[in-house]
């Protein structure tokens, strides 16, 4: 089917303006900061001079991914220069050295694990594509530190975390895997082996989603990860047995209702509509079943219809939703 939602210059400019408006906005802020003494009580900008904006650390990181992605793909938009100038002062060696030092704190072992870890690697993956700038090289030490954390964490993670929020394992590994493909064969092999062990035997999904504050689909994020790890010949029957033959896809995979966009948790559901669309579009390309691909594209379109109008409007969604909208819209081109 022909998708009506397409990434174009007008949308790119809108998303860029949204992100430029909050990546350097320090407050309101929700720091995930462990304090052990009075001197640890510091402002977000002091703690994270590169990623202090956008309400929280991970949202700031993936908003920078959005800005750099738009800079590369729509280099003629007027916002190009503003993105470049702000990135140059924000993604400085000095600022990123402080970010790296924060991860070395004894109390930061679980800081942003795994969601922020995945997004930081994805940001570095994008930054390295800007060959006219040094941002990739500056982010490299932090990315390498986080890749090491993934390598150390996966052997400890006996079971996948399959919630629809920041702790979801599959989503973080999707982002980390893209980074590892070009840079870290050992981590790539580790992610693939761990993913197969965690998900390849799963079938007949019967989870109770959506949850009331979820922005990820547990089953679709796991499925998307497996579409990257498995061959298409193996993935298609696995996916059919997971969500098609049991009726889940037909019965449950429809856009969700958002009752209050000023409530930060309930506003997550706009993100669920967007991230589902992203998963459905990408999964559809991996299938050896054209009828099923058409169905997934149709469901993706419905989810985009429900969410795209609400990317901006209330800060509880505005500080992060455009990134997920961009993930999905990049799959429509």
Query: What is the residue-wise DSSP string for 267-309?
Result: THHHHHHHHHHHHHHHHHHH-S-HHHHHHHHHHHHHHHHHHGG
Tokens of 312: 């901006």
Produce one character per residue of 257-271: b if its CB has 16 or more CB atoms within 10 Å, e if not.
ebeebeebebbbbbb
Q: Is 67 helix (H, G, I), strand (E, B) or coil?
A: helix
**Portion of the chain with pLDDT greater than 90, in percent:** 98
| Ramachandran assignment for 289, one of left (phi > 0), alpha (psi -120 to 50 degrees), beta (any other) | beta
Q: Is the pLDDT of residue 1 over 60?
A: no
At 6 the three-state DSSP class reads coil
Confidence category of residue 47, pLDDT binned at 50, 70, 90:
very high
pLDDT in tens, 246-275: 999 999 999 999 999 999 999 999 999 999
Q: For residues 143 and 184, what is the distance between their CA atoms, to the nearest angstrom?
A: 11
For residues 179 and 161, give the distance between their C-alpha atoms in angstroms, rounded to a whole number: 21
Tens-place pLDDT, residues 264-309: 999 999 999 999 999 999 999 999 999 999 999 999 999 999 999 9
Q: How far apart are CA 85 and CA 129, in angstroms?
A: 17
C-beta neighbour count of 229 within 10 angstroms: 21
d(CA 146, CA 103): 9
pLDDT tens, residue by residue, 5-14: 889 999 999 9
What is the distance between the alpha carbons of residues 193 and 174, in angstroms, rounded to a whole number? 13
What is the rounded CA–CA span in Å between residue 50 and residue 87?
Answer: 9
Cβ count within 10 A of residue 81: 10
Q: Give the C-alpha separation, 150 to 96, whole Å.
A: 19
* Alpha-carbon distance values, 160 to 33, 34, 154, 156, 202 (Å): 25, 25, 9, 11, 12
- Calculate mean pLDDT across residues 169-196: 98
Q: Would you place residue 2 in the very low, low, confident or very high pLDDT band (cuts 50, 70, 90)?
A: low
pTM: 0.97
């Amino acid at each position: 089917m022909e998708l009506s939602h397409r990434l174009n210059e007008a949308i790119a400019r809108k998303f860029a303006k949204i992100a430029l408006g909050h990546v350097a906005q320090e407050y309101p802020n929700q720091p995930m900061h462990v304090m052990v003494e009075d001197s640890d009580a510091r402002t977000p900008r002091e703690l994270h001079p590169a990623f202090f904006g956008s309400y929280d650390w991970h949202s700031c990181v993936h908003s920078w991914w959005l800005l750099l992605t738009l800079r590369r793909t729509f280099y003629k938009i007027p916002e190009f220069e503003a993105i470049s100038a702000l990135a140059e002062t924000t993604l400085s060696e000095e600022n990123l050295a402080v970010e790296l030092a924060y991860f070395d704190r004894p109390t930061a072992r679980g800081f942003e694990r795994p969601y922020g870890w995945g997004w930081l690697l994805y940001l570095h993956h994008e930054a390295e594509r800007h060959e006219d700038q040094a941002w990739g090289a500056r982010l490299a030490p932090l990315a390498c530190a986080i890749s090491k954390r993934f390598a150390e964490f996966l052997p400890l993670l006996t079971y996948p975390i399959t919630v629809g929020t920041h702790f979801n394992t599959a989503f973080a590994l999707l982002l980390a895997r893209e980074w590892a493909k070009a840079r870290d064969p050992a981590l790539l092999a580790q992610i693939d082996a761990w993913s197969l062990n965690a998900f390849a035997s799963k079938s007949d999904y019967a989870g109770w989603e959506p949850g009331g504050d979820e922005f990820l689909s547990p089953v679709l994020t796991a499925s998307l990860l497996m579409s990257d790890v498995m061959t298409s010949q193996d993935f298609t029957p696995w996916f059919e047995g997971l969500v098609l033959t049991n009726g889940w896809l037909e019965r449950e995979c429809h856009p969700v209702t958002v009752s209050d966009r000023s409530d930060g948790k309930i506003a997550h559901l706009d993100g669920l509509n967007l991230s589902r669309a992203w998963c459905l579009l990408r999964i559809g390309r991996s299938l050896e079943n054209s009828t099923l691909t058409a169905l997934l594209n149709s469901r993706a379109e419905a989810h985009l219809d429900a969410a795209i109008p609400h990317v901006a409007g209330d800060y509880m969604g505005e500080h992060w939703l455009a990134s997920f909208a961009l993930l999905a819209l990049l799959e429509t081109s």
